Structure 1
Amino acid sequence: MKQYKAYLLDLDGTMYKGDEPIDGASQFIEYLKAQDIPYLFVTNNSSKQPETVAEKLQTMGISATGNEVVTSALATADYIAEEHPGASVYMLGGTGLQTALVDKGLTIKNDEFVDYVVVGLDEAVTYEKLAVATLGVRNGAKFISTNKDVSIPKERGFMPGNGAITSVVSVSTGVQPTFIGKPEPVIMNKALDILNLPKSEVAMIGDLYDTDILSGINVSIDTIHVQTGVSTLADVEAKDIPPTYSYEDLNAVIKSLKGEVD
């Protein structure tokens, strides 16, 4: 396996499952740190602030700081601030999204007369919130969604994700949003800008083909599939564009980087 100068890493299914770390996750990060190889965790989660995501990793023995986490909320805020500095926004979502938008100088409003409507995962969503979002889009606001994940894993099972919430506004208005999170290039390009390395020197690691692996393919970087989450080896081998590599877990990736396996 090629030696890369930096890595982008998925979280759920790659580093942990729920609240349990996956064997090889902490070992891989320690290997990267020992080699002075930079890494970033790239997540579609817009509800949590980067520091909160890092704290969860730390409780599992995985070294992480807020500066090493790129969320779809951060990428969304950057996208809007670059396109329309100081814009007004009506949002559905958690504190992670709200903080990211405000930190970029954007104005949060609670009515439908705004420049942008942003939908992020909102576990307290109501009919009224969806109604205001719908009216905002109908009034001409640009429609943004942090990610298209239709379901997310929870302790009770797979629950409605942000894509499911977004679809209510899409169906009601007939308007498709601009998606920011994986597998879209927006969030990946933000992470690549932070690393500031040639694409040929960066690899994306993840378990789910349709988000993680495809996100790497969509920005023309190599991809490393780990068989510790949703997509199986058979799944990814059947794709028109398979990942660059597929390994049983991150322990196997370490062995390959050390030249102990192919």
Structure 2
Amino acid sequence: MYKGYLIDLDGTVYRGKEPIPAAKNFIEKLQEKGLPFLFLTNNTTKTPETVQKNLSENFDIHVPASTIFTAGNATVDYMNHQNKGRTVYVVGAPGLVELILASGFQWEETNPDYVVVGLDPGIDYEKMTIATLAVQKGAHFIGTNPDKNIPTERGLLPGAGSLVAFFETSTGVKPTIIGKPETAIMDSAIERLGLAKEEVLMVGDNYLTDIQAGIRNGVDTLLVLSGFTQKEEVPQLPTAPTYVLESLADWSIL
């Protein structure tokens, strides 16, 4: 039925360092059929090339870097479409900074056109100060994604959304959020696929991000019960996904 797929990574293709075998087979079937797909992730700490290498070396999934679409890629698309200038200050991991600067934006700390906030393990008070002052002066405030926490073996760690909330408090300015489940990342990803929304299926394990991204933006959804959202939660979900499966092994690619 579908001519293209948007596919989440963590919880759908793998769980941390653990592969999900059905996902590898699913991807290989898409490749055999020649169906376009993008891996759609809110993670901005790594470049698409780094994600590609991880998929190849650790999960035996071999795809070009062009199939990996991060909230960082969508942020660049958004800034290009806004066309409000080419200077930026980024609070984020090196992967996000590298991606944005490689896209032709220039680093500026005093009066940037944009302030982009993503997950930044190296955050310190000086970065907070520079970003806060820039937004107060009128820089367009962008949050790469709304994820307040990151699940790890240590527990739920602060996510990009937690940092975005800090800057919203310190500046009094509401940010533009790019990542799932927001419209910006979905519009950019579907544009890259070159398809209409009704021709695309959003596949993911997290109802709050992956599935809501589809529901809010008119894209059919497949919730796979291999990660975040559990089977017992499904009957209580406010809006049902288009499809719910235990495993991607149960999905037929036509």
Equivalent position to 1:137, from 135, 138, 144: 135
Question: Residue in 2 aligned with 1:90?
Answer: 89
Deviations 1:88-134 (Å, cap 9, x if unpaired)?
Answer: 1111112322222223321112x232111110111110011111111
- The answer to whether the 8 A contact 1:55-1:64 is kept is no
- Tell me what 2:74 maps to: 75
2-side partners of 1:236 and 1:180: how far apart? 26
Question: Is this contact kept in 1: 2:4–2:37, CA < 8 A?
Answer: yes
Q: How does 1:54-133 map to 2 (within 5 A)?
A: 54-59=52-57, 60-84=59-83, 86-109=85-108, 111-133=109-131
SS of the residue corresponding to residue 24 of structure 1 reads helix
Measure the CA separation in 1 of the matches of 2:101 and 2:170: 28
Residues in 1 aligned to 2:37 and 2:199: alpha-carbon distance in whole angstroms? 12
Q: Which deviates more, 176-185 or 82-91?
A: 82-91
Q: Structure 2-normalised TM-score?
A: 0.95
SS class of match (1:57): helix
TM-score, reference length from structure 1: 0.92
CA distance in 2 between counterparts of 1:85 and 1:105 reads 14
> Separation in 2 of the partners of 1:171 and 1:236?
34
Q: Which of 226, 229, 232 is matched with 1:231 structurally?
A: 229
Structure 1 unmatched ranges of 5 or more: none
1:16 aligned residue (14, 17, 22): 14
The sequence identity of aligned pairs, in percent, is 45
Whether the 8 Å contact between 1:81 and 1:104 is mirrored in structure 2 is no
Name which of 153, 156, 176 aligns with 2:154: 156
Corresponding position: 1:246 with 2:248: no
SS in 2 for 1:7: strand
Alignment partners' CA distance in 1, 2:151 and 2:222 = 22
Deviations 1:125-173 (A, max 9, x none): 0011111111111111111010010011233222110001111111112
CA distance in 2, matches of 1:72, 1:112: 25
Task: Tell me if structure 2 keeps the 8 A contact 1:87–1:115.
Answer: yes
The equivalent residue for 2:27 is 29
Provide the C-alpha distance between the structure 2 equivalents of 1:218 and 1:65, rounded to a whole number of angstroms: 29
Distance 2:32 2:80 in 1: 36
Does structure 1 conserve the Cα–Cα contact (< 8 Å) formed by 2:29 and 2:253? no
Cα distance in 2 for partners of 1:105, 1:152 equals: 30
**Number of aligned positions between the proteins:** 253
Structure 2 counterpart of 1:87, one-letter code: R
Counterpart residue type for residue 149 of structure 2: S
How big is the shift at 1:236? 3.3
Describe the SS at the equivalent of 1:143.
strand
